[in-house]
Structure 1
């Protein structure tokens, strides 16, 4: 038994044609086409040649192997899914700063050619805005096993330095300051900015606003592992249960 029946059914599905419409296209009876698709009978060689020529498919390919949708789309330009043109979604290309290229980024972040040559992420986000991706490389933004870990990726929206004072305190950002890239929370006091880590053992870094060369406000996050989404109420309840168990153990 050949693959003819399976293949013409796939072609018909990709083209969005009913059995009746497909049969009419090649001068066949609908019942005969149904029998071919169900592999209850084989067509005449003239029918095979007619269908193969119409869709620019080699006869041996039509008969001896199951054709994939991708192959069908390549055989003839107008062979598209559901009889409509295949539309490609417009994704934003986001340059990505990694451990390997971060020092080069610090030296060439104003060079458009260098930026174009960085590795990029393709993401379904606003294509009218400018974004950067930054790969986390330390534990500064962790707190009690929660937060951001190495290899996590944060996506920041370009934020002009002249609006830093308008940002809400605690905004998550990454920035170029003093020839380094900082990923922390931003706090503003008068003409200074404080970059604060979530890790309690990491000291604040304080600079003048004018020292900030680039600032990216974090909008999206890709975590290397599945984060915990427990609420503060659940955390509190768990802590209370643990304390009760400790008290009970002492009493006993």
Structure 2
């Protein structure tokens, strides 16, 4: 059996795409993507070719290898916003931008909506109904194993709410309070939702707390 289904799931995680968003790119259904990822069906060869070409992955690797996050980052070096998909909406919005310069101010004032209005803004194409936040990468941030970003990369996060919590499992995200920012993968352990940095370090959370939770939606990457 090919590795395509598992690799599709990894691509979605790296790109921050839901099954429906991934399906929309290739004119498929969410059910198609679910069946591929659960190994209940194999995509037609033309679909496999289109996916590999779209994400810049060698076809042989896409079919035969269990691709790692680092390999996917290597194949798709820009990992920029899915411009073609978002352009369908023809809609740009300005979102708050947290740089290394104003990062501490953001941590201190993250609960104050009016503070976000004072931050610099960047303009991006957007189809999300949820609030977005841009954060600049620097060396002080502690990323989960397998997630490698460069100084100056800009991560675009989508707010986590009760309406979209079902779409965040297995995706990279952050939690913020006045003590700082923690990063990890959203997972479910027993009956609890957690943000896991690794197998030993994880943080249980509830949306009713004073924390703010964000899930990665896209990335603007510096040229190498």
TM-score normalised by the chain length of structure 1 = 0.44
TM-score normalised by the chain length of structure 2 = 0.49
Higher relative contact order (CA 8 A, sep 6+): 2
Per residue, is there more helix in 1 or in 2?
1
